[in-house]
């Protein structure tokens, strides 16, 4: 029997992952579903499993914080969404790396890979994985945005931001109350500084927060049309670009 621990802070995602795992390997048993760094550290220090399925980002920190504290952690399959460079690095240093939403066939491949790895007597090197995860543990996201109103200077906290958009070579910040401010940062630089769990760049002109989405409808060429709150000026159309539609849907499901 394959004893598995799932580290995931979204209860529905954890349940779906467990169901998919059992379909892939009926002999697998999920002995723990852990939703935080704190609970995972405590449980793993006092229990042993054959395999861990772990998201990277949790509500109270990163899985890096768990594996940096637990001395007897099992081999790990990572379940999250990062850029292609990180995917290669994670695949080389963990058992496998799976993009959300988890595909049944990819999970089956990962479990087979783990079983082959175990049969061949390979040792899991936690140190290598920690080195890969470390840059993400050190990453800080921008939480306040400096704007000017005449001679007055204001600092707008992240939670008050609805979205950003660019127009006529200017970048605007729009608050949830509907006020607009010009900021001295382009969307490309902003995209790298924002928390990717809360903000997503849907096209060349818009970076939106999850909380600003009022409605979404299917559009042509598999795109998604979005109604934002507050609505953008001049009745600007807000449509997810073709190349970003797939990743955007994964972001919504994360």
Task: Share the mean pLDDT of the chain.
Answer: 85
pLDDT interval class at 170 (50, 70, 90): very high
Judged against a pLDDT cut of 90, whether residue 108 lies above it is answered with yes
Judged against a pLDDT cut of 60, whether residue 140 lies above it is answered with yes
Judged against a pLDDT cut of 90, whether residue 176 lies above it is answered with yes
Residue-level pLDDT at 6: 96
pLDDT interval class at 94 (50, 70, 90): low
- The more confidently predicted of residues 33 and 73 is 33
Tens of pLDDT, residue by residue over 58-84, are: 777 777 788 888 866 788 888 875 554
- CA pair distance 23, 11, nearest whole angstrom: 19
Q: Write the CA distances from 237 to 159, 164, 188, 202, 240, integer angstroms.
A: 24, 14, 20, 12, 10
| Residue 140 backbone zone (phi > 0: left; psi -120 to 50: alpha; other: beta) | beta
Residue-level pLDDT at 85: 40
């Amino acid at each position: 029997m394959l004893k598995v621990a799932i580290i995931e802070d979204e209860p529905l995602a954890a349940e779906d992952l467990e169901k998919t795992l059992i379909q892939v390997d009926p002999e697998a048993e999920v002995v723990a579903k852990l939703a935080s760094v704190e609970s995972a550290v405590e449980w793993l220090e006092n229990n042993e499993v054959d395999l861990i399925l772990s998201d990277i980002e949790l509500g109270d920190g990163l899985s890096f914080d768990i594996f940096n504290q637990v001395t007897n952690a099992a081999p790990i399959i990572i379940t999250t969404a990062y850029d292609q460079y990180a995917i290669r690095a994670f695949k080389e240093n963990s058992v496998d790396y799976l993009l959300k939403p988890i595909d049944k066939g990819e999970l089956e491949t990962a479990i087979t890979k783990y079983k082959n790895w175990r049969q061949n007597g390979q040792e899991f090197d936690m140190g290598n994985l920690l080195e890969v995860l470390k840059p993400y543990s050190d990453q800080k996201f921008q939480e306040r945005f400096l704007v000017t109103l005449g001679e007055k200077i204001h600092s707008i906290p992240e939670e008050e931001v609805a979205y950003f958009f660019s127009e006529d070579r200017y970048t605007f910040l729009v608050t949830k109350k509907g006020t607009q401010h010009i900021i001295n940062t382009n969307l490309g630089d902003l995209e790298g500084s924002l928390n990717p769990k809360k903000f997503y760049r849907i096209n060349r002109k818009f970076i939106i927060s999850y909380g600003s989405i009022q409605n979404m409808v299917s559009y042509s060429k598999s795109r998604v049309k979005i109604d934002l709150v507050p609505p953008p000026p001049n009745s600007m159309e807000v449509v997810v670009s073709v190349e970003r539609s797939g990743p955007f849907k994964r972001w919504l499901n994360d």
